[in-house]
Chains A and B, each alone.
Chain A
Amino acid sequence: GENVEQHPSTLSVQEGDSAVIKCTYSDSASNYFPWYKQELGKRPQLIIDIRSNVGEKKDQRIAVTLNKTAKHFSLHITETQPEDSAVYFCAASKDTGFQKLVFGTGTRLLVSP
């Protein structure tokens, strides 16, 4: 089955710096890659996603890139702010419709003022 690896497990940056979180997946049939943010004590929320027919997607300070050949995708956060501090999870799925997601193990991002 699908396996998703996520690195780093923790990431500390200064406010205003950029942060990059990387994920690799094993199943070449996967075609949908979401990123979820989970703040302390709260539920995970979708922040951005990408489908396999697209190489990059941006939403304000957040971007995701996908390299299908290498089977890896990355989350990029620019101009980080303290409120970006949270745990970020990547995931992969073979089906956007029903979506049996396989999640990475999470990255704890700490943005220091």
Chain B
Amino acid sequence: DGGITQSPKYLFRKEGQNVTLSCEQNLNHDAMYWYRQDPGQGLRLIYYSQIVNDFQKGDIAEGYSVSREKKESFPLTVTSAQKNPTAFYLCASKTSGSSYEQYFGPGTRLTVT
């Protein structure tokens, strides 16, 4: 399971608290992505980044924030403004080269009560 890692696997928080999910890759990929996965809704894009110090909002960015200070790292913060934060969060990365595949991490299941 090397390449792209996410920690922790399970995360529990109280409502009103911010929480940061980790995503690290050693694939030397330029692009990184955060998705949210809910039952019956597929994967929805939260934020994405093509290069260091640059990122763009995806389709459901409200209540989330990211940073891309290093090529290897793309942490996601779930803020208290996110109305329904309980979900499975997947990070992915992709080379800017000829491969089209997005490589996914193992995911973090966040439960907010």
Contact = CB atoms under 8 A, between A and B. Distances in A.
B40 interface: yes
Contacts of B45: 100-102
A44 B93 CA distance: 12
Interface of B: 31, 35, 40-45, 48, 50, 58-59, 90, 94, 96, 100-102, 104-107
Interface in A1-25: 1, 6, 9
B48 A43 contact: no
B104 A99 contact: no
A91 to B, nearest CB: 8
A97 interface: yes
Which secondary structure dominates where chain B touches chain A?
loop
Which secondary structure dominates where chain A touches chain B?
loop
Interface residues of A, number: 24
A97 B96 contact: yes
Contacts of A46: 100-102
Interface in A47-84: 49
29 contacts: A1-B59, A34-B101, A34-B102, A43-B90, A43-B106, A43-B107, A44-B90, A46-B100, A46-B101, A46-B102, A49-B101, A89-B43, A91-B43, A96-B100, A98-B31, A98-B94, A98-B96, A99-B31, A99-B94, A99-B100, A100-B48, A100-B58, A101-B43, A101-B45, A101-B102, A102-B45, A103-B42, A103-B44, A105-B40
Nearest to A89: B42
Contacts of A42: 106
A75 B104 CA distance: 21
Nearest to A106: B42
A41 B59 CA distance: 25
